[in-house]
Structure 1
Amino acid sequence: MASSSSFASNSQYCPRWKYDVFLSFRGEDARKTFMGHLYEGLKNRGIFTFQDDKRLEQGDSIPKELLKAIKESQVALVVFSRNYATSRWCLNELVKIMECKEEENGQAVIPIFYDVDPSHVRNQSESFAEAFAKHEVRYQDDVEEMQKVQGWRTALTAVANLKGYDIRDG
């Protein structure tokens, strides 16, 4: 029977997580404000964080690398802002994050409601309703895409039901 010390010294050993935190957010809403402060605060505390503009290399396939980084992150911080649901990228990330959460030894997911009411995310109301109305018009004749839209709705409701942070007033 192998001891735990021999397991740790095994050259084949590879930690499960490459990143401590994956940040999911709508860039146009928060990249130059809240996200910059959040990223720097995490970095200053020694928390290895994946943020797309900080970790992607020139020539990388963005969708492929984002999905890989999600799987390799121990925690996902999902920062909901007013325009989050307008982005297919954000919504696809969110679905992948929630899939990873449900896996055995899945990652932790922490929602942050940045200038939005958590109930607007949960119920897809206000700006989230407007975004989904546009998605549904755009994909109304495509069954496969409409299934994606329903998956986005399900993921939004599920993540908004998690304990998170409401920072609407600073």
Structure 2
Amino acid sequence: MASSTTQIFSSSTSTSNPQFTYDVFLSFRGEDTRSTFTDHLYSALVSNGIHTFRDDEELEKGGVIAGELLNAIEESRIFIIIFSKDYANSSWCLNELEKITECMATNDQQIILPIFYHVDPSEVRKQTGTYGEAFADHEKDADQEKKEKIQKWRIALTEASNLAGYDRQKYQ
């Protein structure tokens, strides 16, 4: 993976605009992939000189995204979104994804690379299976403001999962 990773990112970052602080921003559900897939990916990126943002344990979890995280999203060139089984259970992940898709709408120099890790891309796109269950939970007792937020999450998931990405299930 390291050699193909280096090829992809060195060509992308060699002409990178100085407005970007990070080459890559990793969006993932920590409980699903932090100590497995994401950790290996992060190590490979960093060891190849790719400046990568990965949240740390000190960022407050849940609710409103921290200012530091918003800045990291805005200042990243490439977004690798690791859609795992329980990604949609996390309002933190969904808020992050919403911000990423907002940035993409205004900056054509940013790129999203979705990775479908042990989840079918159509499940993410159509919000069925575990994604449908997660949204049913989010919608329970939701007031109007939360319903509007949930609709933005649904749109962000559909947009991101419609992009060409890497389906981990196909390569097992």
Q: Scaled by the length of structure 1, what TM-score is found?
A: 0.84
Instruction: State the distance in 1 between where 2:140 and 2:59 align.
Output: 35
Could you list the runs of 5+ residues in structure 2 that have no partner in the other structure?
1-16
Correspondent of 1:31 among 14, 31, 34:
34
Could you tell me whether the CA contact under 8 Å between 2:116 and 2:168 is conserved in 1? yes
Could you tell me whether the CA contact under 8 Å between 2:59 and 2:66 is conserved in 1? no
Corresponding residue of 1:132? 135
Secondary structure of the 1:46 match is: coil
1:57 Cα offset (Å):
7.7
4+ runs deviating over 3 angstroms: none
Could you tell me whether the CA contact under 8 Å between 2:65 and 2:92 is conserved in 1? no
Corresponding residue of 1:150? 151
Instruction: State the distance in 2 between where 1:104 and 1:79 align.
Output: 21
Could you list the runs of 5+ residues in structure 1 that have no partner in the other structure?
1-13
Instruction: State the distance in 2 between where 1:132 and 1:74 align.
Output: 29
Correspondent of 2:67 among 64, 68, 74:
64
1:65 Cα offset (Å):
1.1
Could you tell me whether the CA contact under 8 Å between 1:100 and 1:106 is conserved in 2? no
Corresponding residue of 2:164? 163
Kindly indicate whether residue 103 of structure 2 is the aligned counterpart of residue 118 of structure 1.
no
Instruction: State the distance in 2 between where 1:105 and 1:117 align.
Output: 27
Correspondent of 1:15 among 18, 21, 29:
18
Instruction: State the distance in 2 between where 1:57 and 1:109 align.
Output: 23
1:15 Cα offset (Å):
1.9
Instruction: State the distance in 1 between where 2:18 and 2:156 align.
Output: 28
Q: Scaled by the length of structure 2, what TM-score is found?
A: 0.83
Letter in 2 for 1:151: K
CA shift in 2, pair 1:138/1:63, >3 Å: farther
Could you tell me whether the CA contact under 8 Å between 2:25 and 2:80 is conserved in 1? yes
Tell me how many residue pairs correspond in the alignment.
152
Correspondent of 1:75 among 66, 75, 78:
78
1:16 Cα offset (Å):
0.5
Corresponding residue of 1:10? none
Instruction: State the distance in 2 between where 1:16 and 1:164 align.
Output: 25
Q: Which has the larger radius of gyration?
A: 1
Correspondent of 2:47 among 33, 44, 48:
44
Identity of aligned residues (%): 53
